[in-house]
A and B are shown apart, each in its own frame.
Chain A
Amino acid sequence: MQLRGRQVRCVRGGREVFSGLDFAVAPGEALAVTGRNGSGKTSLLRLIAGLLAPAGGSIAIEGGDAELTLPEQAHYLGHRDAQKPALSVTENLAFWRDFLGGEVADATDCLAQVGLAHALDLPAAYLSAGQRRRLSVARLLAVRRPVWLLDEPTTALDTAGQAMFAGLMRAHLDRGGLIVAATHGPLGIEARELRIGSAA
């Protein structure tokens, strides 16, 4: 299995963000996408997740489950956390677990892993930014998908949270998963760097 992009070109709002981008990610490998603000890191992740259409080139996963498209094999962890404030922590997670489908894990277990075991029945409205991020991370664990697309995953996490998350990413890679992460800071794991939009 390999995630491969060929000559990817991205146009947003009539302006070319990047073009001619080639990349490949193999199982057990992490790709750290870096670049200044506005260079198209988030756009690249959304292209891979199928939430944007590329203006040119192609992105494909080779050798995965042939029944599923790339977006269906990928977790997208974006800036917005997709949580309903009126539902409790467990309900939020359980909804996405059942809705996303596929191989699933126990919700309570996942929440314990991200350090939210004490807040199971708390409405998501009362969570802090860091706790909301932890809840989003729990979603990655609740449904097993081979590709993780992470957009600034460590923002809002405290030092312990970053260490916890690095551990989870390492475990994911050990199971043969793929990670593409847009980041400014260190991820805490071994990662190849893909630098985009080098001020043309």
Chain B
Amino acid sequence: MRRDIRIALRVGGGALIGVLFFLTVVVLMPFAVGPDLALLTRLGPAILWLGALLASLLTLDRLFMADHEDGSLDLILTSRTPLELTCAAKALAHWIAAGLPLVLATPVLGLLLNLDMVATGAVALTLLAGTPALTFTGMIGAALAVTLHRGGLLLAVLVLPLSIPVLIFGVAASQAAITGPMTFGAPFSILCALSLISFVVGPFAAAASLRHGLD
């Protein structure tokens, strides 16, 4: 399983694309919104979360597509390793290669959005808890779209509705830590719960759709 992660890391290359995209969106935002620091602070968490969501969508479609193209998927299906486990490992590898860098880039980008240390920490923490949910639910979409050549678009349409709850509670938790009357705990626990649910459901759903979707 470690090998799967290593392959994804080395072959992926998508990780950098994701981070670069994230960087561009977030860096451009202050210029678009204008030099209103208070407004930037208020929008900051939302911008970071949107950037992370779109960046993860950008890289997700390669999750199974690359293996489908070179025939690896055929062998994966005839392996004695359970397909669910393989899916989980692939998602984990994708998250390490593409999700974790986003979390690590957040503190730097927080500076640009006039977020103080506490706020940046809160956003980074919610991203850390929430991006696995994005990856694992996104994997279901990637598995469904694997045999389609223009699967990227379908992937976005399928996955975006599923990621709305993650987005809502991710931003809610960050806002709560910065301004809100709400406590940080409640939305953050829901966010963690969403991630945990996706850990369980994601691999099984993806494995099932891979088994049925092959041509």
Contact = CB atoms under 8 A, between A and B. Distances in A.
Q: Do A and B belong to a common assembly?
A: yes
Contacts, number: 70
Given A82-B72, A86-B10, A99 B78 contact: no
Interface stretch (A18-26, A66-74, A160-168): A66-74
Given A68-B80, A76-B78, A81 B7 contact: no
B3 A98 contact: yes
B77 A72 contact: no
Interface string A100-120: 111000000000000000000
Nearest to A13: B215
A85 B69 CA distance: 13
Interface string B68-101: 0111101111111100000000000000000000
A81 B78 contact: no
A51 B71 contact: no
Given A68-B80, A99-B81, A100-B79, A84 B7 contact: yes
A87 interface: yes
A52 B70 contact: no
Given A84-B11, A84-B70, A71 B75 contact: no
B214 interface: yes
A50 interface: yes
A51 B74 CA distance: 7
A80 B4 CA distance: 19
A80 B80 contact: no
Chain B at the A interface: mostly helix, strand, loop or mixed? helix
B11 to A, nearest CB: 5
Interface string B197-215: 0000000000000000011
A49 B74 contact: yes
A87 B9 CA distance: 11
Given A86-B11, A87-B11, A95-B3, A51 B70 contact: no
A83 interface: yes
A48 B79 CA distance: 14
Nearest to A80: B71
B78 to A, nearest CB: 4
Contacts of B78: 49-51, 71-72, 74-76, 100
A161 B151 CA distance: 39
A85 B78 CA distance: 22
Contacts of B77: 50-51, 71
B215 to A, nearest CB: 7
B116 to A, nearest CB: 41
Contacts of B69: 80
A151 to B, nearest CB: 10
Contacts of B7: 84, 87, 95
Nearest to A70: B78
A160 B80 CA distance: 33
Contact of A76 (B11, B74, B80, B81): B74
A80 B71 CA distance: 5
B70 A83 contact: yes
Interface string A41-69: 00000100111100000000000000010
Contacts of B11: 84-87
A79 interface: yes
A101 B70 contact: no
Contacts of B74: 46, 49, 51, 76, 78, 80, 82
A13 to B, nearest CB: 8
Contacts of B71: 78-82
Interface of A: 12, 46, 49-52, 68, 71-72, 74-76, 78-87, 94-96, 98-102
Given A80-B70, A100-B81, 19 more contacts: A50-B77, A51-B77, A72-B79, A72-B80, A74-B78, A81-B71, A82-B70, A82-B71, A83-B70, A84-B7, A85-B11, A87-B11, A94-B3, A95-B3, A99-B3, A99-B76, A99-B79, A100-B75, A101-B79
